[in-house]
Structure formats: structure tokens, C-alpha cells
Amino acid sequence: MFKWTNFFRGFAMGVTETVPGVSASTIAMLMGIYEQLLGSLSDITKGNIKRALGFLIPLGIGMVFALLIAAKFIKYLLAEHPIPTMFLFVGLVVGILPFLWRSAHAETNKRFKSYHYGFILVSFTLMALTSLIGEPVETVITDFNAGTYIYLFFSGVLASMALVLPGISGALVLMVLGAYYTAISALDSLHLPVIAAIGLGVVFGVLFTSRVIRYFLKTYTQATYSIMLGLVAGSILVIMPSSLPDSFLYGLVTFFTFLAGLVTALTFGRAERT
């Protein structure tokens, strides 16, 4: 039986996938469906397809709708109002950190040990270092051949980590690989071969990665959560705008977008806790 409320959750995840630095799996965790997502993806590889599809199909439809609709909208907001838009996502990411911290301790009823803090520091540093990546050339691939589609497929495989590993942004991975603007352009113009090449790569990659992450969550729960905490905290530096508002009114708008993201995340986090 399909769980159609997942359409709206998938829509929220899809919107974030168009923004470099924001992870769809972070939003899934915020909405309390992260472990269900991993479990359903794992079910597919184990043959429990009917149960998995009841959860994943509405989620996937929501994500596809969001990607098609949000591509233009997010592109406009990032072009015309980048600072308030990115501070909205900064607020969301900051707000999920308390939820992650509680989850890490609730799963085992144990405190972090010193090496867990080391994992947090290392993963935070590695994620923060991606903020040093220079502005990419906004190149859209127009010359397509077999090699191009293979390249786009493997770009999708690498970007699929974003669906199962909080803190890692699929859009950022595509940007680093030089495929981000091609992907956004394809969504904008409905260039189906490009969408299919990247999409198949994402599907292939996510089925494999989900099993790996689920294993580590079950076997090394606190260590995995500590790495997630570092990655999510480090992503704040990645999505933080390089410039600040240049007027009081624009600063006020930015403050309220940050607050909206923060309150939303904290509210969802408390709801999930109860």
C-alpha cells in the first residue's frame, strides 16, 4: 500500500537537491524518515520489493515533481536573492544539529567517547574544506556522445551519496565534477537523455550506498552519528554566503529567513523526538 504522505516529504527532499551544499538525506532525517528510507532501499536489494515500493514510489514522485518545478524557482532565487535563500537553508541545517545529537545518544544510551569527538572534528574539517572550492565555470555540456553519457552516469553515482549520507550534497558533488549546470539545464529544458543518464547513476549508486550506511548505523551507531554530526555542521560553512546583506531591510529579511529555517528544523526535531 502506497504511503502518499511521502509525496510531500519527497517534494521537500527534491527541492534541497537543487541547492549546492544542502543534503536531501539531512531533510529526510529532519522529517523522521531517514531510517525508513535506508530500510526501504535495502529491501529492494533483498527482494522485498513490494514493501519497499509502497514507501519509495510516493517519495520518488514527490522528488521528481520538486526537481522539475524547483529547478527554475531555485535558480531564480539563487540568482536574484542568494543571501536570504541560502540563510534559510543555513537555519535548517543549524536546527537539525540538536536532533542529531539527541539521536546519537538515544540509540545507545551512552555518552560520546573522546574518539567520537575526533570523528566529529575530522568530518567537520573535511566537509568545511569543500567551501574552499572556487566558483565553478557555469558550463553547460552541449556536445553529447557515448563518453559524455558515461561521465554523466558516474557523476550521478557519486552524487547519490547525498540521498543516504547527511551533510553530503548531491548538487555540490555535481558542481565539483562539473556536471551541475548541465543537470540544472536539462531539468529546465526537459532534456530526457541527460536526465536519464544522471538519474540511472543515482539509482544505481543509492542502492549500493544505502546498504553500507545502514550496516554502519547498526554496527557502529555512535561513530556513524558522530561522523554525520561533523558533516552536517561542516556543511554550514559550505552553504554560508560569502557576502552579507548591504542594507538594514535586506538584513532583516535575511534574519527572518534564517529564523524560519531554524524554527522549522527545531519544530520537526521535537515532533520526531515525541
Task: Dump pLDDT digits (tens) for 241-271.
Answer: 878 888 899 999 999 999 998 988 788 766 5
Q: Give the Cβ contact number of residue 125 at 10 Å.
A: 11
User: Grid cell 560569502 — which residue?
Assistant: 242
pLDDT value at residue 22:
67
Residue 200: per-residue pLDDT: 93
DSSP codes, 170-219: HHHHHHHHT-HHHHHHHHHHT-HHHHHHHHHHHHHHHHHHHHHHHHHHHH
Q: What was the pLDDT predicted at 115?
A: 93
Helical pair 49-80 and 34-46, crossing angle rounded to 10 deg: 130
Listing DSSP states for 145-169 in one string gives -HHHHHHHHHHHHHHTHHHHSTT--
pLDDT for 119 equals 94
Tens digits of residue pLDDT in 122-171: 999 988 887 776 555 557 888 888 989 999 999 999 888 766 777 677 77
pLDDT at 40: 86
Residue type for 137, please? V
Apex 86 CA angle, 81 and 92, nearest 5:
140
Cα gap 251→241, rounded to integer Å:
13
pTM equals 0.71
* Dihedral, CA of residue 70, residue 71, residue 72 and residue 76, to nearest 10: 90
Residue 65 is given by DSSP the state: H
For 16, residues 6+ apart whose C-beta sits below 8 A from its C-beta are 22, 23, 24, 26, 27, 89
Q: Is residue 4 within 8 Å of residue 70, measured between CB atoms?
A: no
The span from the CA of 116 to the CA of 19, in Å, is 29
Q: Which stretches of the chain drop beneath a pLDDT of 70? A: 1, 19-22, 71, 133-138, 162-163, 167, 269-274
Q: What is the DSSP letter of 243?
A: S
Q: Whole-angstrom Cα distance, residue 90 to residue 257?
A: 9
Q: Are 195 and 17 in contact (CB under 8 A)?
A: no
Whole-number Cα distances in Å, 51 to 48, 56, 264: 6, 9, 30
